[in-house]
């Protein structure tokens, strides 16, 4: 496993900064410094890379809007194999928060009525061959590094089902913005067809960085008092649909539908949510690339598949999940 020196800043203080101790504007500034530190420390160890013109366009779209489509990563045959893999794994069914009192265990075919989500243990995720391949994909890691401006760490590596339910909406189904790291980039792949009724993802473009938002804020609200009210509102973790739709231009609010295999990147510092399915279900795969591992998560690694021979960048990025 790649070893990293203990942080100069205590983990508890970093967590305090991320979860409200600093506002978004100062977090963005600190994120620039943190990325520079990691790049100087670990970037020189990684093999060089050259982004294609297509991938440079993806990075540019992410920088401007916080969202970009990407070519499908899995073939239809691979997606069929992924479905088969998880049909045979133990699933965890839950409603509001993973680990809440409603959670029960069983195979996917045994899903109880009226559950919102089904997820899986980390070993089941990491031991899925198609997921392992994508986790080590040098193109994806180079693109994430170009966007984050530092060697990426995979801090989330997961997949889950969302189901129709009359239970209260869960936290991730409210508009919110992630604050798990100073910089984050998420990869999403739809492993089922996703239309407007079975839980599409939603994202507010241009809400991902203060540098992108600031010119629009200054133009929209001419007084300092109005601008400060907006920035104070941005600090609230959860935001109502009506408020988000009343503040931002409608063309910025993207509903992400797509067929089986649809793949996209998103900076989830921007405002986003997963809509609760009304009919049908949604299966989605996700990787979060960030500057560091999540401070409030205990990671469990599995042996790295023998058919993988990662360079430094992939070994570094996946160190929490593969020995």
pLDDT in tens, 283-319: 999 999 999 998 888 899 999 999 998 889 999 999 9
Lowest mean pLDDT among 23-32, 92-101, 213-222, 246-255: 92-101
**b/e map 106-138, b = 16+ CB within 10 Å:** eebeebeeebbbbbbebebbbebebbbebbbbe
pLDDT of residue 8: 45
Q: Which residue's structure tokens are 């941005």?
A: 234
Q: Which residue has the higher pLDDT, 35 or 9?
A: 35
What is the per-residue burial (b if ≥16 Cβ within 10 Å, else e) of 254-287? Answer: bebbbebbbbbbbbbbbbbbbbbbeeeebbbbbb
pLDDT tier for residue 97 given thresholds of 50, 70 and 90: low
153: pLDDT strictly greater than 80? yes
pLDDT tens for residues 45-90? 878 888 999 999 999 999 999 999 999 999 999 999 999 999 999 9
| Token pair belonging to 86 | 């998880």
Q: What is the pLDDT of residues 165-199, one digit of tens each?
A: 888 777 788 999 998 899 999 999 999 999 999 99
List the end-to-end C-alpha distance of the chain, in Å, as a whole number. Answer: 5
For strands 184-190 and 153-162, give the pairing.
Answer: unpaired
- Which pTM value belongs to this model? 0.93
Note the pLDDT tens digit of each residue in 261-288: 999 999 999 999 999 999 999 999 999 9
What integer is the mean pLDDT of 200-208? 97
pLDDT at position 169, please?
A: 77
Residue 7: pLDDT over 60: no
């Amino acid at each position: 496993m790649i070893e990293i020196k203990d942080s100069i800043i205590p983990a508890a203080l970093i967590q305090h900064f991320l979860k409200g101790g600093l506002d978004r504007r100062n977090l963005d500034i600190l994120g620039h410094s943190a990325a520079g530190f990691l790049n100087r420390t670990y970037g020189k160890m990684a093999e060089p890379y050259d982004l294609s013109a297509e991938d440079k366009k993806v990075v540019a779209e992410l920088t401007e809007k916080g969202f970009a489509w990407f070519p499908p990563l899995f073939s239809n045959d691979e997606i069929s194999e992924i479905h088969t893999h998880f049909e045979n794994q133990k699933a965890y069914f839950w409603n509001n928060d993973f680990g809440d009192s409603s959670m029960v265990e069983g195979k996917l075919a045994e899903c109880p009525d009226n559950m919102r989500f089904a997820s899986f243990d980390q070993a089941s995720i990491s031991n899925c061959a198609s997921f392992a391949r994508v986790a080590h994909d040098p193109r994806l890691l180079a693109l994430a590094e170009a966007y984050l401006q530092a060697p990426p760490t995979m801090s989330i590596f997961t997949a889950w089902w969302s189901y129709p339910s009359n239970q209260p909406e869960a936290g991730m189904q409210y508009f919110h913005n992630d604050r798990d790291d100073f910089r984050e980039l998420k990869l999403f792949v739809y492993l089922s067809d996703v239309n407007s009724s079975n839980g599409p993802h939603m994202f507010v473009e241009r809400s991902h960085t203060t540098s992108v938002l600031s010119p629009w804020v200054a133009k929209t609200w001419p007084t300092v008092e109005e601008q400060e009210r907006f920035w104070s509102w941005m600090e609230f973790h959860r935001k109502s649909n009506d408020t988000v739709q009343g503040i931002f231009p409608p063309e910025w609010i993207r509903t992400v539908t797509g067929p089986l295999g649809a793949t996209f990147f998103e900076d989830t510092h921007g405002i986003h949510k997963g809509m609760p399915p009304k009919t049908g279900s949604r299966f989605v795969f996700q990787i979060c690339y960030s500057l560091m591992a999540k401070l409030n998560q205990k990671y469990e690694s599995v042996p790295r598949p023998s058919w993988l021979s990662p360079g430094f960048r992939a070994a570094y990025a996946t160190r929490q999940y593969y020995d």
